[in-house]
């Protein structure tokens, strides 16, 4: 029986210690094929710049190979950090993807920089001054381009022809703050809230639902939450695996960026710092444990927000352990597997 709570994947393309960014990117393709076979709804690629931990600065580049390597799962950005880019360029890129892959493409749109201030500045084309904070205007322009709704008297009216039409990506707004929920509700967009960044957003989710204005884009609120989770056969094994991400997050908050360390190294670090191995760093929520523990934790988080979907992000040192984590979660929720998994490596 299918479960009413939709499950999806957010892949940040983590780079384990001793491996390269290319290895991590190939792991992303492999994990996407597995998620496709296991019955996850969508597979989103994150955008992060200039760090050793994550190898995914260009979701719009990675979506194509992932969509080509899969068959039924939706593929998209989680998300494109719009302030870095021209709305027209984003619209064109995702229109190409929609033209190639039909209704399988999601365009998750974010406002955060996904990097440090210097890298943000380096991403600008014009560096004479910092770019303006005009995200609402950028978002409105992007949606108008995708939907071919540029007013006829607008200077950009003749730019509304995109290569992928009539296919268009499904836009989502991403966020972890009250303002993003307001924009999503006012624009009638589906909204994905990053609980793994801000685990105290239940009121924000409720505000999105209460403010939502039905539109041609969406007739009812559609809310997903991004949750951090690691699953293993036992609670103890999962806590052991989670030590790697706890070390990376602890050091990240101190301004130190590292590749994902082996659990044994991470456990030594946590012990030396006097940090418990079973506590999420800095108050963030992490759902870690056996299939029963993780299923209950994800359901509780989704119920807290009134969310219809949970988008699971997992970081482990060992790629096989990350694959197994998603397998166990899929089994716990009774996801419908593909008829054949011959193309998925065991």
Distance CA 92, CA 156 (A): 14
Task: Tell me what pLDDT residue 245 has.
Answer: 94
| Helix axis angle, 235-252 to 263-272, nearest 10° | 70
Please identify which residue in the block is written with the tokens 């899969």.
70
Task: Tell me what pLDDT residue 2 has.
Answer: 45
* Domain spans of the chain, in order of start: 6-229+289-333
Distance CA 81, CA 329 (A): 29
Which residues lie across from 311 on neighbouring strands?
Answer: 8, 226
Give the residue among 109, 134, 124 at the shortest CA–CA distance from 49.
124
- The 10 Å Cβ neighbour count of residue 207 is 15
**Tokens at residue 317, please?**
């040192």
Which residues lie across from 108 on neighbouring strands?
Answer: 78, 172
Task: Tell me what pLDDT residue 1 has.
Answer: 40
CATH, range 6-229+289-333: 3.20.20.30
Model-wide pTM > 0.85: yes
CB 325 within 8 A of CB 332: no
Tell me the pLDDT of the chain (346 aa) as tens digits: 445 899 999 999 999 999 999 999 999 999 999 999 999 999 999 999 999 999 999 999 999 999 999 999 999 999 999 999 999 999 999 999 999 999 999 999 999 988 888 888 888 888 888 888 899 999 999 999 999 998 888 888 887 689 999 999 999 999 999 999 999 999 999 999 999 999 999 999 999 999 999 888 999 999 999 999 999 999 999 999 999 999 999 999 899 999 999 999 999 999 999 988 887 666 678 999 999 999 999 999 999 999 999 999 999 999 999 999 999 999 999 999 987 544 444 3
pLDDT for 48-89, tens place per residue?
A: 999 999 999 999 999 999 999 999 999 999 999 999 999 999
Task: Tell me what pLDDT residue 3 has.
Answer: 55
């Amino acid at each position: 029986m299918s479960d009413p709570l939709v499950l999806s994947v957010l892949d940040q393309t983590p780079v384990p210690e001793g491996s390269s960014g290319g290895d991590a990117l190939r792991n992303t393709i492999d994990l996407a094929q597995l998620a496709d076979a296991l019955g996850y709804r969508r597979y989103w690629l994150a955008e992060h710049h200039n760090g050793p931990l994550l190898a995914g600065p260009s979701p719009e580049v990675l979506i194509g190979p992932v969509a080509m390597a899969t068959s039924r799962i939706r593929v998209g950005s989680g998300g494109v950090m719009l302030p870095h880019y021209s709305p027209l360029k984003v619209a064109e890129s995702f229109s190409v993807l929609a033209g190639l892959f039909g209704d399988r493409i999601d365009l998750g749109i974010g406002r955060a920089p996904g990097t440090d201030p210097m890298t943000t500045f380096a991403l600008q084309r014009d560096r004479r001054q910092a770019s303006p904070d005009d995200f609402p205007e950028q978002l409105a322009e992007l949606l108008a381009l995708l939907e071919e709704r540029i007013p006829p008297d607008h200077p950009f009216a003749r730019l509304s022809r995109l290569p992928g039409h009539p296919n268009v990506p499904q836009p989502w707004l991403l966020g972890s703050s009250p303002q993003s929920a307001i924009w999503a509700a006012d624009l009638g967009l589906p909204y994905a809230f990053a609980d793994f960044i801000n685990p105290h957003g239940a009121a924000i989710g409720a505000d999105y639902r209460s403010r939502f204005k039905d539109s041609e884009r969406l007739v009812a609120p559609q809310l997903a939450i991004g949750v951090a989770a690691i699953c293993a056969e036992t609670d103890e094994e999962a806590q052991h695996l989670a030590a790697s991400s706890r070390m990376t997050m602890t050091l990240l908050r101190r301004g130190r960026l590292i590749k994902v360390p082996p659990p044994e190294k991470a456990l030594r670090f946590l012990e030396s710092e006097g940090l418990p191995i079973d506590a999420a760093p800095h108050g963030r929520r992490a759902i870690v444990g056996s299939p029963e523990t993780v299923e209950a934790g994800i359901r509780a988080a989704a119920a807290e927000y009134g969310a219809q979907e949970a988008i699971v992000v997992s970081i482990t040192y060992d790629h096989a352990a990350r694959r197994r984590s998603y397998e166990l979660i899929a089994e716990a929720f009774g996801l419908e597997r593909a008829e054949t998994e011959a193309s998925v490596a065991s």
